[in-house]
Amino acid sequence: MPNPTAAMLVIGDEILSGRTRDANMYHLAGRLTEHGVDLREVRVVADDRAQIVAAIKALRAAFDHLFTSGGIGPTHDDITAEAVARAFDTPIGIRDDARAILAAHYEARGQELNAARLRMARIPEGATLIDNPVSAAPGFILGNVHVMAGVPSIFEAMLASVLPTLAGGAPVLSQTWEVRRGEGDIAGPLSELAARYPDLSVGSYPFIRDGCHGAQIVLRGQDGGRLDAAMAELAELFPA
Amino acid sequence: MPNPTAAMLVIGDEILSGRTRDANMYHLAGRLTEHGVDLREVRVVADDRAQIVAAIKALRAAFDHLFTSGGIGPTHDDITAEAVARAFDTPIGIRDDARAILAAHYEARGQELNAARLRMARIPEGATLIDNPVSAAPGFILGNVHVMAGVPSIFEAMLASVLPTLAGGAPVLSQTWEVRRGEGDIAGPLSELAARYPDLSVGSYPFIRDGCHGAQIVLRGQDGGRLDAAMAELAELFPA
């Protein structure tokens, strides 16, 4: 059976302006691969309601799961929850259990649960909350959409609580063979090897190191024996 | 006049599997902002022809420029040039000037211009070549699509030769004010400030440092005087 598929939507002007280097995409990609879920597409969009709504609709229709990152804080530019509600054509309002979580958190710290913070209790109808062990304000799951924070430590904590609840497929195994020759030298035999192993994905990732060309040949698949066999052929084709 | 808009398409299984952390998106975002071009969307897709073609069509229609990264090398998984030709419904074949560039490069190094390397001379009809000072194999521009390599040093060199040829708008200026308080404390006054400066973009980017919440307030706009005025208000609202 093929693995479940997933997409990611990163929401935030700061990535597109070059101010911030995204960290959550790299983290999610690694965790999903370990879990046996195939990440098939990532989109990064600005804090723009129409763009967010369109991306949510397209990605949740095309893949089994959609993970979003960013835009669920208390400030005026945090519009993800509302955009998700709109994409599902579902009402959104302050939910009692989310409000209670925030109230307890801020009371324990002697801080006020003001109008801005209360925005973080706005949850689309029918959603399930995602625990936020870092700063209390919850994420949520609506249908196949997992809405999580953009701050990396919170994103990672939320993902850690969500992943075990998702059905995964066989984790994808991978092995890498480094070749210290230009890709043009190895492309022919490599293509023939890929044809002999249609059940494996054979990727070639070129690099330049100390002025010399090389490539990492990465074999991926779910059958360890087949990977070993292909690796043995690689080692014979392109001795270290 | 509003700035020209752009999108980026990152092509490569290695990003989606979590093996490689993308570097080109962050680089492109910074350079475009300096040049006065607004990066509005990024998509990352796998080495899958249908997905690449669909993304090229959608992004080049929606934005003034599209920049692609990856998939133009000599190996079997390099299918970007062909996908671009298909997206434009244009023939693709080996072009004499591209072949001559490759032939000179490999001859100077005593290497063979074999069939795999010759694939890198396949260029869609009507395209303009982009110089590759690192490893010769050219990128190309077709319509509003700029097709560049995935290896960061080559991507950066190609972008450096392309950017000066593009019309830019006014570079977006930005100033940042760091607040050592949780976003919930500042969201109300910040939202009012954003309403008083509709010509500026006011972003709030929360962080957690040494266990304490804070936020970077980033003001962006094209008028330095307005930025200074808003920064002065910020400093009064949230003293350092």
Of A175, A186, A174, A177, nearest to A240 by C-alpha is: A177
pLDDT at residue A46, rounded to an integer: 94
pLDDT at residue A222, rounded to an integer: 86
* Cβ pair B76:A33 closer than 8 A: no
Q: Which two three-digit tokens encode residue B38? A: 């607004």
Chain A positions touching B73 (Cβ under 8 A) are 183, 187, 204, 206
Number of domains, chain B: 2
How far is it, in rounded angstroms, from Cα B44 to Cα B113?
Answer: 31
Mean pLDDT (chain B) is: 93
Chain A positions touching B116 (Cβ under 8 A) are 183-188, 191
pLDDT at residue A23, rounded to an integer: 92
Q: Are residues B57 and B150 in the same domain?
A: yes
**What pLDDT digit, counting tens, does each position of A156-208 carry?**
999 999 999 998 888 888 899 999 988 888 999 999 999 999 999 898 888 88
Nearest to A74 among B111, B134, B187 (CB): B187
Supply the CATH number for residue B231's domain: 3.30.70.600
**What pLDDT digit, counting tens, does each position of A35-75 carry?**
999 999 999 999 999 999 999 999 999 999 999 999 999 99
Nearest to A116 among B174, B187, B207 (CB): B187
Mean pLDDT (chain A) is: 93
Looking at the complex, report in whole angstroms how far the Cα of residue A90 sits from the nearest Cα belonging to chain B. 26
Looking at B165, B186, B205, the residue that finishes a domain is B165
How far is it, in rounded angstroms, from Cα A152 to Cα A100?
Answer: 24
Q: Are residues A77 and A154 in the same domain?
A: yes
Which has the higher per-residue pLDDT, B207 or B157?
Answer: B157
Q: Which two three-digit tokens encode residue A240? A: 């270290």
pLDDT at residue B209, rounded to an integer: 84
Q: Are residues B80 and B156 in the same domain?
A: yes
Looking at B165, B198, B217, the residue that finishes a domain is B165
* Cβ pair B47:A203 closer than 8 A: yes
pLDDT score of B102 more than 90: yes
Whether ipTM exceeds 0.95: no
- In angstroms, what CA-CA distances link A71 with A117, A164, B197, B199? 13, 24, 21, 21
Q: Are residues B58 and B89 in the same domain?
A: yes
> Does the model's pTM come out above 0.95?
no
B211 lies in which domain range?
A: 173-237
Looking at the complex, report in whole angstroms how far the Cα of residue A232 sits from the nearest Cα belonging to chain B. 20
Burial code (b: 16+ CB inside 10 Å, e: under 16) for A176-190 equals ebebeebbbbbbbeb
Q: Are residues A182 and A107 in the same domain?
A: no
Q: Are residues B147 and B214 in the same domain?
A: no
How far is it, in rounded angstroms, from Cα A13 to Cα A198?
Answer: 41
Q: Are residues B12 and B117 in the same domain?
A: yes
How far is it, in rounded angstroms, from Cα A28 to Cα B16?
Answer: 9
Q: Which residue has the tokens 């690796």?
A: A231
**What pLDDT digit, counting tens, does each position of A78-131 carry?**
999 999 999 999 999 999 999 999 999 999 999 999 999 999 999 999 999 999
Q: Are residues B59 and B100 in the same domain?
A: yes
Q: Are residues B205 and B147 in the same domain?
A: no
Q: Which two three-digit tokens encode residue A149? A: 């924070």
Q: Which two three-digit tokens encode residue B115? A: 């069939």
Q: Are residues A90 and A152 in the same domain?
A: yes
Q: Are residues A25 and A121 in the same domain?
A: yes
Burial code (b: 16+ CB inside 10 Å, e: under 16) for B86-121 equals bbbeeebeebeebbebbeebbeeeeeebeebbbbbb
* Cβ pair B183:A106 closer than 8 A: no
Q: Are residues B224 and B127 in the same domain?
A: no
* Cβ pair B188:A114 closer than 8 A: yes
How open is the CA angle A68-A46-A37, to the nearest 5 degrees?
A: 25
Chain A positions touching B203 (Cβ under 8 A) are 13-14, 47, 77
Looking at B115, B132, B165, the residue that finishes a domain is B165
Supply the CATH number for residue A15's domain: 3.40.980.10
* Cβ pair B151:A208 closer than 8 A: yes
Nearest to A190 among B22, B76, B151 (CB): B76
| Mean pLDDT value of segment B183-194 | 92
Q: Which two three-digit tokens encode residue A124? A: 């689309």
* Residue A120 DSSP symbol: G
Side chain identity at A102, as an amino acid letter? L
pLDDT at residue B168, rounded to an integer: 83
Task: Give the nearest chain B residue to A78 (CA atoms).
Answer: B204
